[in-house]
Amino acid sequence: MCKAFPFIAAMFVLIVTTGTFNAFTVRRLLEDKSFNFIPIVVISEIVFIFTLLNFLQTAFTDPGVLQKENEEESDNDFHTPLFKNVIINNMTVRLKYCDTCQFYRPPRTSHCSMCNRCIENFDHHCPWVNNCVGRRNYRFFFCFLMWLSLHIVLTLSLCIFRCATVRPLWSDIPSLIVAIVCFLTVFPIIGLLSFHIALIKMGLTTNEQVTHKFSGSDNPYTHGCAKNFINLFCKAKPLRYLGYKEMCNTKPRLPFFRREHGYKLQPNEDNVSEYSLQVENTDV
């Protein structure tokens, strides 16, 4: 099956359902002169535009792909230790060597088996957007969930109002179908949004939560609930590691270099400021 099929299907459902809602429910509500529906319809259309924009931004933004080590330059040394320890905010974190990308995965990085790339701050691979969700597009993903929840709630409310006032009920089948689609999706979407609100509060990614990464220890990446939310919405989007030539003159450095420093890890300054990170000298 085509990898993009769930993305195309999700896009199709979103656009066709909203189109049907606009063509039938909204048009008939606006014809009803007993109540002024214009403000709520305008809000509903704005919410839909933000939903679509964030959906497309999640799908088409580089999630934080780390460039693979150049295979010709790379000397695949069997003596390379599989793990290295670093200290982040006074807590020891183990970094694993990625055999495919040939570097030590920076903190919170995981190799996505679907994309076959290491993704920084890997959250999960989302088939509905046909992309990984990671450091550079998590904000768009979370905003997409917020706008989508609001979009479904508004659409469902207006459809229920329409179905409740029309007699007989089957004289407005399109509104009834849209209401059923919204009813079936509203609980999973709000559930997913609540799950991500809880994750941000704890400073975790989905990957860290499902693998119980910090179940027996403190999480070194959390800055406290308020700062986690501030960082999510207010921090500048990090530069891409790929395609840097078109975007700026200086190459953004990988968080850790293997080759430049032999087999010793060397944190780059950006990470030091983000994590107050030290490299432990001992290999594991």
Q: Is residue 111 close enough to count as binding Zn ion by CB under 5 A?
A: yes
Whole-angstrom CA distances from 56 to 21, 67, 140 are 21, 23, 9
Contact 277, 88 (CB under 8 A): yes
Of the candidates 132, 139, 141, 144, which has an alpha carbon nearest to the alpha carbon of residue 242?
A: 132
Told to check if 150 binds Zn ion by CB under 5 A, we report no
Which C-beta is closer to Zn ion: that of 63 or that of 267? Answer: 63
Examine residue 159 and tell whether it contacts Zn ion (CB under 5 A): no
30 vs 178: CA distance, rounded Å: 17
Residue 95 binds Zn ion, judged by CB under 5 A: no
258: contact with Zn ion by CB under 5 A: no
- Is residue 124 within 8 A of residue 275, CB to CB? The reply is no
133 binds Zn ion (CB under 5 A): no
Residues 105-130: b if buried by 16+ CB within 10 A, e if exposed: bbbbbbbbeebebbbbbbbbbbeebb
Nearer CB in complex with Zn ion: 83/187: 83
Q: How far apart are CA 168 and CA 170, in angstroms?
A: 6
* Strand, coil or helix: 231: helix
- Applying CB under 5 A, the span of 33-41, 125-133, 180-188, 225-233 interacting with Zn ion comes to 125-133
Choose the binding region for Zn ion from 28-36, 76-84, 104-112, 167-175 (rule: CB under 5 A).
104-112
269 half-sphere exposure, CB direction, 13 A CA radius? 1
Of 36, 92, 100, 278, which one interacts with Zn ion (CB under 5 A)?
100
Using rule CB under 5 A, residue 59 touches Zn ion? no
Distance CA 31, CA 11 (A): 29
Instruction: Kindly state whether residue 101 participates in binding Zn ion, applying the rule CB under 5 A.
Output: yes
Q: Does 115 help bind Zn ion (rule: CB under 5 A)?
A: yes
Please give the order of strands across the beta sheet that includes 65-66: 65-66, 117-119, 110-112
DSSP 146-198: HHHHHHHHHHHHHHHHHHHHSSSGGGGHHHHHHHHHHHHHHHHHHHHHHHHHH
Which CB atom, from 29 or from 129, has the smaller least distance to Zn ion? Answer: 129
3-state secondary structure of 204: coil
Q: Which is nearer to Zn ion, 56 or 186 (CB)?
A: 56
Residue 203 CB, nearest approach to Zn ion (Å): 22
Residue type, 174: P
Residue 115 a catalytic site member: no
**Which range binds Zn ion by CB under 5 A, 8-16, 99-107, 233-241, 251-259?**
99-107
114 counts as binding Zn ion under rule CB under 5 A? yes
- Told to check if 112 binds Zn ion by CB under 5 A, we report yes
Choosing from 126, 143, 159, 182, the catalytic residue is 126
Q: Which of 132, 158, 199, 204 binds Zn ion (CB under 5 A)?
A: 132
Stretch that binds Zn ion, among 74-82, 115-123, 134-142, 157-165 (CB under 5 A): 115-123
Supply 229's token pair: 């939310």
129 binds Zn ion (CB under 5 A): no
According to DSSP, the β-strands at 117-119 and 110-112 are: antiparallel
Which residues are 36's β-sheet partners? none
| Interface of this chain with Zn ion, residues 65 to 94, rule: CB under 5 A | none
Looking at the Cβ atoms of 112 and 176, the one nearer to Zn ion is: 112
Catalytic residues: 126
Interface contacts to Zn ion, rule CB under 5 A: 98, 100-101, 111-112, 114-115, 118, 125, 132
